[in-house]
Amino acid sequence: MEPIWAVGLMTGTVLDGNIDVALIKTDGERIADTGTYTLAPYPQSIRALLEETLRQARAWNFEGAEPAIFREAEEALTRSQS
């Protein structure tokens, strides 16, 4: 396969508040070249949601039903990265 330019998105630790965005040229196995890199900050509303999710996770401690906020946070992060 000929190398193509692709955008990569990731969050190292979501609580740093950023989406890491990188441009790479790849054939799917090797990186042929690198391009621009930047950080795209999450909106404050998502940062607050993540902090509350973490607070509820600590209180939950894997006992009983999983807090509903987990799904809300997962959906918010997925939308932010799409």
Residues 48 and 82 in one domain: yes
What's the pLDDT at 10? 86
Total structural domains within the chain = 2
Residues 52 and 82 in one domain: yes
Cβ neighbourhood burial of 4 (10 Å; 0-12, 13-18, 19+) = exposed
Task: List pLDDT tens digits, range 30-65.
Answer: 999 999 999 999 899 999 999 999 999 999 999 999
Please state the pTM of the whole predicted model: 0.69
Residues 19 and 49 in one domain: no
**Residues 19-27, mean pLDDT to the nearest whole number:** 95
Residues 55 and 78 in one domain: yes
Residues 2 and 37 in one domain: yes
Q: Give residue for tokens 């006992």.
A: 63
What's the pLDDT at 36? 96
**Which structural domain, as residue segments, surrounds residue 61?**
43-82
What is the pLDDT of the chain when averaged over all its residues? 92
What's the pLDDT at 74? 94
Residues 31 and 53 in one domain: no
Residue 81, phi then psi, degrees to nearest 5: -95, 5
Strand bridging mode 31-41 / 4-10: unpaired
